[in-house]
């Protein structure tokens, strides 16, 4: 399957064609394509005049980047200490059970990706789950079920936020 090039072309016009733009370009490509496809990394290297090996090294170094496609809904369960002691593990286990996937995996329909992350900096709200860019604190199994129900038919986490508030 050939990927559409329009989003990439648009991203490349936003930044000066030089090495210092690399991280910003990769962030935008990740957002637009939900991962960093190898074929696009080659084009990024050419456009920014950066060696291909360097682009791939950066793309594989940062945890925020992924060479594999992510789900439409990215669920990040905090596994920092505060969240752990307040039931973060139970939340992770429930997501795994309901989605039928393990940490780091994406459902076969491409809808959900489940990840464990280090402290996301909102320990007072523990246990915390981040769904796309939306933070959910004091997570419970009930809340988790509502998030999954709301995101099933929605492409964004906004609907889930409205439903769980
Ligand atoms: S430990 Fe989860 S937000 Fe800090």
> What average pLDDT does the structure give for the chain?
91
Q: Please give the full DSSP string across 111-147, using - where no structure is assigned.
A: -EEEEEES--S-GGG-S-EEETTEEE-S--HHHHHHH
pLDDT(160) > 70: no
Both tokens assigned to 103: 């940490």
SS3 state at 74:
strand
Percent of the chain topping pLDDT 90:
81
pTM score of the predicted model:
0.76
145 and 88 in one domain? yes
88 and 40 in one domain? no
- Give ligand 1 pocket residues (Cβ under 6 A): 78, 80-83, 119-123, 126, 128
Residues belonging to the chain: 165
List the CATH number of the domain containing 150: 3.40.30.10
Residue 91 lies in a domain: yes
Q: pLDDT digits over 76-105, tens only?
A: 999 999 999 999 999 999 999 999 999 999
Residue 66 lies in a domain: no
* Residue span of the structural domain in which 136 resides: 73-164
Q: What's the pLDDT at 34? A: 87
Backbone angles phi, psi at 122, to 5 degrees: -125, 50
Which whole number is the average pLDDT over 44-67?
A: 94
pLDDT(152) > 50: yes
SS3 state at 68:
coil
Distance CA 50, CA 155 (A): 34
Q: What's the pLDDT at 154? A: 61
Q: What's the pLDDT at 163? A: 52
81 and 50 in one domain? no
159 and 112 in one domain? yes
82 and 57 in one domain? no
Total domains in the chain come to 2
- Pocket test of ligand 1: the residue of 117, 122, 139 to mutate, having most ligand atoms within 8 Å of its CB, is 122
Which whole number is the average pLDDT over 15-38?
A: 95
Cα-to-centroid distance, 42 and ligand 1 (Å): 37
56 and 85 in one domain? no
């Amino acid at each position: 399957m050939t990927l559409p090039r329009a989003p990439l072309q648009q991203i490349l016009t936003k930044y000066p064609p030089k090495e210092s733009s690399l991280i910003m370009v990769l962030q935008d490509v990740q957002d637009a394509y939900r991962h960093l496809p190898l074929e696009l990394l080659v084009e990024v290297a050419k456009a920014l005049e950066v060696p291909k090996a360097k682009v791939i090294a950066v793309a594989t170094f940062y945890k925020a980047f992924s060479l594999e496609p992510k789900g439409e809904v990215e669920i990040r369960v905090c596994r920092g200490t505060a969240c752990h002691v307040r039931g973060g593990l139970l939340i992770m286990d429930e997501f795994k059970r309901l989605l039928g996937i393990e940490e780091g995996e994406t459902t076969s329909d491409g809808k959900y990706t489940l990840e464990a992350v280090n402290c996301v900096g909102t320990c007072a709200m523990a246990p915390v789950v981040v769904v796309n860019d939306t933070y959910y604190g004091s997570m419970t199994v009930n809340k988790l079920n509502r998030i999954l129900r709301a995101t099933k038919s929605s492409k964004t986490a906004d609907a889930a936020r409205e439903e769980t508030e």
